[in-house]
A and B are shown apart, each in its own frame.
Chain A
Amino acid sequence: MEVIMVDQEKCTGCHQCELWCGNEIASVSKELPLAINEDPQPVPRVHVEGKRFALQCRHCPDAPCITACPNGTMRRDPESGLVFVNEPTCIACWMCVMVCPFGIINPSSSLKVAVKCDRCRNMEFPICVEVCPTNALKLVDRKEAAEINP
């Protein structure tokens, strides 16, 4: 399974990943000049944390958010292994927000759902990785990543 890794030395905290995730994924209009002024404000799924680290859902093999979700809204796609929010059934109870160790689930009171990265599961390639100007974000196979850090 492929996950998105961040090379902390290359991340400049430029926020482009957030901006384009917000535009391409979160917004309704998908066009930046219109997305900027949309109401409710689009909620990006990736977040630049602290100074320089773009963090998104880790798609944990044993996901606490799936455990905590009381109505099966938080699911795992059997083929890709990716964890995603089935928004139509989300009741904004935000139990998932409570248990996510990375704090990457966004409790959106404007959208009344939990907003979470699904690694662009319906797209060819994750947007944040595509737009990162310094290639700080990379798609890496999970097994490989495990080998890097024994």
Chain B
Amino acid sequence: MEFIQKKTNDRAAEPFLLKAAEKGISLVWDRYEGQLPECGFCESGLSCRDCLQGPCISHPFRGDQSKVGVCGKNKDILGVHSLLRLVVKGTMAYLDQVIDFAKDIEAGEVSPANKAQTDGVIRHIQGLFETVGPEVMEAFPEALTNRWEATGIYPEGIARDLFKASQKLEGGITGVNETLLWTFKCSLLGCVSQMLQGKLKSSVFGNAAPTELEVNLGILQKEVPTILLYGHFSPVLKQKIAEVGEKKNVSIMGVCTDPLLPPYIFAPVTSYGSQEIPLMTGAVDLIVSGDQYVNPSLQEVAREWSVTIVPAEVLERGQDLGRFAEQIIDQAKKAFDARSGISKDIPDVKESAVFGFSVDTVDMKKIVDAINGNKIKGIALLAGSNNVKFTQDHEIVSMAQEFLKNDVLCISEGEASIALAKYGFLNPQFEMECGKGLSGLLSSLGEDIPSILDFSYAQNGGVTEFLLGLTSVEKKEPKEYPIVAVFPEANRSMDVTKAMWTVAMGVSTFFWPFLPVTGSPKTMEALTAFCKETFGSRFHVITRKMDARTKSTMVIKSLKGEDELHLDDNPWS
């Protein structure tokens, strides 16, 4: 059992931890300690609650009859199912985001920038039930699509990739490797969903140019009514809120929500791990919350600081989003007046950051040349968010620093970008220590290029956009480049899904905390040897405790082709 000594690296958030303790308010760190030790069976993937004959475990230390679930799922199946369950949920999350969005567009809530393109994308989305259009799939290098067809995991739409894959959990006689392939198949649907969402955003709101904005608690303003958008919900609703907010002089910012939705910016006030903190500044009057990424604990903190919570994903949302947005703004203004007596404690900590690069604004050829010319050692795709099991932001920041020093180009997306943004990695003016080759490359990419490039708002969504852009230069597939994906603080099922599709695309992935599959020898082997064979990449499940520095060294060595931990022969690294 470890009790993380330091809770957070974020000096804006840190003072509030003490304040919360004094007021007796429980934060995510307190609840985590209360949960310890977390169930060792579940952590190892050796449990199942899929039916009412359970809950079952495979007991590693008792005799034969306790090693297999009632229905017969043995430790290997239990392990791979633990993974499948996460990916099914993750893919559903990506699907929810895109389908939700499409429905609001169809309802005519907003006039798209490019109508014809929008209609095309919506048609694709509507068709997702039984197919993934060739126009979407043609973005992938042929080598990949051929391989997926050959292994049977080519995305075919919701019916097969999601529903059929999920039925593996219901029973049946399927080996570990095949179940794992179904899991990859499901994750590819998630990938496609994120791509379609990216395309839809672009066609509806227009492409984003790299945009500078400020992040962290210091950006909160006490003189105006302030609304924070939490988590994911309809981009159309967010736009409407921003529209009305602008008119009525209400500040709209975000937590765990896309920063860019042209022409609007939802500046990230903090990252996932400290999402309870902004309310404690007293400067937030109202929050609009989605479901994904939102902690139910916000209620308790909101109560303490009289913050109104408006859930956006409700049964009775009503059709008229404009009206809903107006109501929200009115509520916020009223709340602001009512809360004028509450003291505001806004730390003076903020940072500039540039978000929104894409293949249109970054010269991918220069990057390929830099790789081929050995100017940079490789590329690290940074994803994931915060996880309370680590000191908040510490892993990603430390690893990013090491990568930059060692001439590894870093591309980030989503919550990972926000975490990095707080520390200046996305700030073009901030001189991060970069290796010579990397510095050269970054300077060559443009005038105001930060040390790490955020690809969140991109046609093809995040890391996928980057990979597709990279591979289109020489028509080579990702596994032929020294490129890895790193999730220093993974958290959600969406992260698992993303990591899986990245591996399916031939990019080896490092993932912390380790996947709940360690109780299954066959799953561990499948994620190493079988994946290596099938995709040319591995999903690294690393159980050994190591500090961030050691992790970076390991990743950098793997980029150079050095397998220091003998990760290839030793599944339990």
Contacts and interface: CB of A to CB of B under 8 A. Distances in A.
Q: Do A and B touch directly, given a CB cutoff of 8 Å in the complex? A: yes
Nearest to A27: B61
Interface in B41-64: 41, 43-44, 46, 57, 59-62
Given A16-B39, A34-B572, A131-B37, A22 B44 contact: no
B543 A15 contact: no
B324 interface: no
A44 interface: yes
Interface stretch (B217-225, B356-364, B514-522): B514-522
Nearest to A37: B521
Interface string A7-35: 00000001110111011001000011111
Residue in B40, B41, B544 whose Cβ sees the most chain A Cβ within 10 Å:
B40
Contacts of B43: 32
Nearest to A21: B61
Q: Main SS of chain B's interface residues?
A: loop
Interface of A: 14-16, 18-20, 22-23, 26, 31-37, 41-44, 131, 133
Contacts of A33: 44, 514, 518-519, 543, 572
Contacts of A19: 40-41, 59-61
B41 A15 contact: yes
The 4 closest A-B pairs by CB, nearest first: A33-B518, A22-B61, A33-B543, A36-B60
A36 B46 CA distance: 10
Given A32-B44, A36-B44, A37-B521, A18 B37 contact: no
B84 to A, nearest CB: 19
Contacts of B60: 19, 22, 35-37, 41-42
12 contacts: A16-B37, A16-B39, A19-B41, A19-B60, A23-B40, A31-B543, A33-B519, A33-B543, A34-B572, A35-B60, A36-B518, A131-B1
B543 A20 contact: no
A131 B41 CA distance: 13
Contacts of A22: 60-61
Interface in B1-44: 1, 37, 39-41, 43-44
Contact of B40 (A26, A32, A37, A43): A32
A37 B46 CA distance: 12
Residue in B60, B61, B545 whose Cβ sees the most chain A Cβ within 10 Å:
B61
Interface in B270-316: none
B131 to A, nearest CB: 40
Contacts of B44: 32-33, 36
B572 A18 contact: no
Contacts of B46: 36
A42 to B, nearest CB: 6
A37 B1 CA distance: 19
A20 B37 contact: yes
Contact of A18 (B1, B39, B62, B543): B62
A42 B544 CA distance: 19
A23 to B, nearest CB: 7
Contacts of A15: 41, 57, 59
A98 to B, nearest CB: 20
Interface in B527-573: 543-545, 572
A33 B518 CA distance: 5
